[in-house]
């Protein structure tokens, strides 16, 4: 059926009054948006005007004019400062690179290495707390002998005497270990404690009942002049040095905590001993104890 449309405009649409047909007016939203925007601006203008009239907002024309006039000068000053900063930074970089090139010449590099090698000695020299202690090897031998007898007495045994000839045998072995950098009862040449003593003309025999015991009993210990060393990079900066008493005590304690060495110290038929001390260049302390 045909309908002669009779439209009625409602909320952006044309609707037919006779049927359900409707059309949308595209200009409606645009016009409506313009109206709403204009209304918003008008309201803001009214509010600002009221604030201005009541003295809440004040405009200082002189300040505004000065601000506008200073803008170009500020921009020029800022650009000038930036240029100066860039130039100064560039000059500093060039100067630093030149200094590094001069400093890293072969001769200078060798000097740097030499200076670094001297730092540990300078630290020891300038800092008394880090100064390498002077060890009296003879006194250290006596201390080891005294600590050994303390343990023998504690276990009901007679103290042993300190035999100088047997100490010569012990010193020879400690010195050999320090020079050849090894730690063993048998030398690299294959000589045992009794063989070393015999080579120096020292013979040891013990008669116990119907038995004859021949040979040398031996304890060895590798100690150190310091317990701890602190480094900065690869450079030693501080040492925890040991005293003579600490070296002697830790040596004998170490032997007493080892079954075989403890047996030598607490063997009743031994009545004399020799002690030999040698200090290597790397601060290792070699101590040999021979019994007869």
Highest mean pLDDT among 100-104, 115-119, 170-174: 170-174
pLDDT at 95: 61
**pLDDT tens per residue, range 10-28:** 444 445 545 555 554 444 4
Answer with the residue of higher pLDDT: 266 or 101. 266
Name the average pLDDT for the chain.
Answer: 75
**pLDDT tens per residue, range 227-283:** 888 877 777 778 889 999 999 999 999 999 999 999 999 999 999 999 999 999 999
Answer with the residue of higher pLDDT: 166 or 37. 166
Q: Count Cα neighbours of 30 within 13 Å in the Cβ-side half-sphere.
A: 4
Taking the C-alpha atoms of residue 158 and residue 166, their distance in angstroms, rounded to an integer, is 19
How many whole angstroms from its chain centre is CA 248?
A: 32
pLDDT at 273: 98
pLDDT at 140: 98
Q: Which of 244, 25, 279, 17 is nearest to 142 (CA)?
A: 244
Region class of 181: left (phi > 0), else alpha (psi between -120 and 50), else beta: left
Q: Which residues are within 8 A (CB) of 187 and not within 5 positions of it... i.e. 6 or more apart?
A: 173, 176, 180, 196
**pLDDT tens per residue, range 130-159:** 778 889 999 999 999 999 999 999 999 999
Q: Are 232 and 123 in contact (CB under 8 A)?
A: no
Q: Which residues are within 8 A (CB) of 215 and not within 5 positions of it... i.e. 6 or more apart?
A: 193, 194, 204
């Amino acid at each position: 059926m045909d309908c002669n449309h009779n439209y009625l405009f409602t909320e952006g649409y044309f609707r037919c009054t006779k049927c359900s047909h409707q059309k949308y007016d595209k200009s409606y939203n645009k016009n409506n948006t313009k109206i709403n925007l204009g209304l918003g601006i008008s309201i803001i203008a009214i509010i600002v005007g009221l604030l201005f009239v009541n003295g809440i907002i004040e405009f200082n024309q002189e300040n505004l004019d000065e601000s506008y006039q200073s803008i170009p000068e500020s921009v020029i000053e800022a650009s000038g400062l930036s240029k100066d900063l860039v130039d100064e930074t560039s000059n500093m970089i060039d100067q630093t690179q030149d200094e590094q090139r001069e400093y890293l010449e072969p001769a200078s590099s060798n000097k740097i290495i030499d200076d670094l090698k001297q730092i540990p000695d300078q630290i020891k020299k300038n800092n008394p707390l880090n100064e390498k202690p002077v060890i009296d090897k003879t006194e250290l031998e006596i201390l080891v002998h005294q600590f050994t007898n303390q343990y023998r007495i504690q276990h009901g045994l007679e103290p042993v005497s300190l035999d100088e000839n047997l100490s010569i045998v012990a010193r020879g072995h400690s010195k050999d270990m320090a020079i050849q950098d090894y730690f063993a009862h048998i030398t690299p040449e294959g000589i045992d404690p009794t063989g070393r003593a015999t080579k120096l003309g020292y013979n040891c025999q013990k008669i116990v009942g119907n038995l004859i015991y021949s040979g040398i009993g031996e304890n060895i210990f590798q100690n150190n002049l310091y317990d701890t060393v602190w480094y900065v990079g690869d450079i030693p900066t501080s040492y925890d040095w040991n005293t003579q008493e600490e070296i002697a005590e830790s040596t004998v304690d170490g032997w007493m905590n080892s079954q075989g060495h403890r047996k030598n110290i607490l063997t009743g038929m031994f009545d004399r001993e020799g002690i030999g001390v040698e200090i290597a260049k790397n601060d290792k302390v070699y101590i040999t104890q021979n019994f007869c």
